[in-house]
Structure 1
Amino acid sequence: MAQLEQLLPALIKTFVISHDADDDVRLAKALVFNAARLAWRLRINGVDIDTKSNPTDLVTTADIAAEKFISGALAALRPDDGVMGEEGAHQESTSGRTWIIDPVDGTYNFASGSDYFCCALGLVEGHPDNPSAIILGAVHRPAMGYTWIGGPNLPTTRDDEPVSPIVDQPLSKVCLGTYMHPALIANGKPFVAGWLNLVAGAATVRLLGSASVDLASLADGVIGAWAQHSVKSWDWIPGRALVEGAGGTTRTITAGGISWCLAGSQSAVDDMERRLSAPDLPHLPALP
């Protein structure tokens, strides 16, 4: 890590020189591409792994290095903009805009050798946890070589090619991307019944462990709906921007006493809200 700390300033300086004239779109694409590739190269040589809130909530030296790379480049290229990163990067905004960084989304997958991870970046106006406007989201998945970028006023593209508009279909006709930690199911948390009711309404379900890859896949037509509870801004904003840029619907609701983020077509999102908010859901006992 000490050698990497010495190398990062040179990487940032080289990047800044090359991208000094970039607009926000070009800059965002270049940042996620280079940060994700940096993390991927570091994994090849081996990374140190620590746990955060639970045994599957991990952080690696690659997460930290990729976030330092992005935040360092933004400090030079967008000094008036704020920064909020999953691994602690923070800079107050004087421009009213903030960049939201998830340097490695899907860290458990990343640390386990899976290719289902990405680097994700969002740009918003207002507070990053409750923005007044979303400007863009950018996601790079290095294993596939894909870079998505889009936003409410920026039609979503993958590798500079427009994605097809999201087709309006009910939840019963599409694949649902979601996640629920096994410990919450075992403890019989009240909102788990709503989640099971949600899952039961989908054509099929995938739990793959990277919100931004899931949401980019939704924007790209690979899955048809997405729902997750208690989502942090760095897991939601980049992918939300992509879905909205593909003509999809996004929504945040409260059901079962917690917050849920929903994305998909209008019909699928309406179906998910109804199922999560259904009255008289059964109480689930804790499992032995």
Structure 2
Amino acid sequence: MTVTPADANLARDLVVEAAALAAGIRATGDLGTRAKTNVSDVVTEADLAAEALVVERLDRERPDDGLLGEEGTSRDGTSGRRWVIDPVDGTYNFSTGSDYWCSAIALAEGDEVLLGAVAHHASGTVLVGGPGLHTTRNGEPLTPIADAPLAGLGAATYAHPGFIGSGAGFEAWVRAAALPATIRMLGSGSMDLVGVAIGRLGCWFQHSTPDWDWLPGTALVAGLGGAAERIDAHGLVWSVAGPRTAVREIGDALRGSVA
């Protein structure tokens, strides 16, 4: 299915508005933060309000499309398309005063992502792109992602011991993490993938990634000729994005096909 300029404009507007609303709520100092699954997996009133804002507009402008939001929105559509919403990605960062957070959205058809948009309120930037739509930053085309081996790149991941686990899954992560020039853990999947798109980070990998943390950013990477793959290895589904050679090398390491 072809993405229209109206789809791209809507995605851009939605994330800019959601990020501005969330930032405004944070500025009041009354976030109402509470834990979801653990002390660093939190939700705030800003997350809920921003998701409600996005859903209200999509209900009005795309009533036939399905919806999936991190904060509980779920609706089957009739068009075959689905909007995947992350109203505040990097909520722990957001709730503790860091500006490494964003609002993100993706449009998908089945398992195929069509479009992604990510707004970083602190810098006033919004990226929009997809497999058939060259990725832009504030309307200006970005440079395509050059192919590169993993050894010269920084890689972002999620390295909390309780999340990485143990056994074969942990060993797979260690093999992959040993290959890049350095490892970063920054706390927002979509922001990390923006970093891959603009060249601030080399690549990204993580297992058990929900669609709202994966699809918006990988659309941006795909719109610049990069690779984005989901890899089954040792009972886990790993999400990997970056230059094609680096993604292949990470995949080989996760599967255990390299020393």
Say whether the fold is shared (TM-score over 0.5).
yes
CA distance in 2, matches of 1:35, 1:24: 16
SS in 2 for 1:70: helix
Alpha-carbon offset, residue 90 of structure 1: 1.7
Alignment partner, residue 286 of structure 1: none
Which one-letter code corresponds to 2:222 in the other structure? E
Output one character per residue of 1:120-160: Cα deviation in whole Å (capped at 9) or x when no partner: 0000112xxxx1x3210000011111100000000001111
Q: Which amino acid aligns with 2:85?
A: I
**Conserved? CA contact 1:176–1:226, under 8 Å:** yes
Is structure 2 residue 113 aligned with structure 1 residue 141? no
Matched, 1:170 2:149: yes
Q: Where does residue 214 of structure 2 map in the other structure? A: 236
Aligned to 1:86: 70
Q: What amino acid is the match of 1:144?
A: S
Letter in 2 for 1:221: G
SS in 2 for 1:23: helix
Measure, in 2, the Cα distance between the counterparts of 1:201 and 1:72: 44
Say which SS state the counterpart of residue 156 (structure 1) adopts. strand
Cross-structure match for 2:87 = 103
1:188 Cα deviation (Å)?
Answer: 3.0
Question: Bigger radius of gyration, 1 or 2?
Answer: 1
Q: 3-state DSSP class of the match of 2:27?
A: helix
1:182 match: 161
Structure 2 counterpart of 1:140, one-letter code:
A
How far apart, CA to CA, are the structure 2 residues paired with 1:99 and 1:189?
A: 36
| CA drift at 1:53 | 1.2
TM-score normalised to structure 1 length: 0.85
Rounded Cα–Cα distance in structure 2 between residues aligned with 1:189 and 1:236: 25
Corresponding residue to 2:185 among 187, 193, 207 = 207
Work out whether residues 164 and 221 of structure 1, in 8 Å CA contact, stay in contact via their aligned partners in 2: no
5 Å matches for 1:69-80? 69-80=53-64
Letter in 2 for 1:223: L
- Match of 1:45? 28
Aligned residues, how many? 254
Quickly say closer, same or farther: Cα 1:272–1:280, change in 2 above 3 A. Answer: closer
Pairing partner for 2:11 from 15, 18, 28: 28
- The structure 2 residue matched to 1:266, chosen from 216, 219, 244, is 244
CA shift for structure 1 position 171:
0.6
The answer (yes or no) to whether the contact 2:252–2:258 under 8 Å persists in 1 is: no
Instruction: Work out whether 1:251 is the aligned partner of 2:225.
Output: no
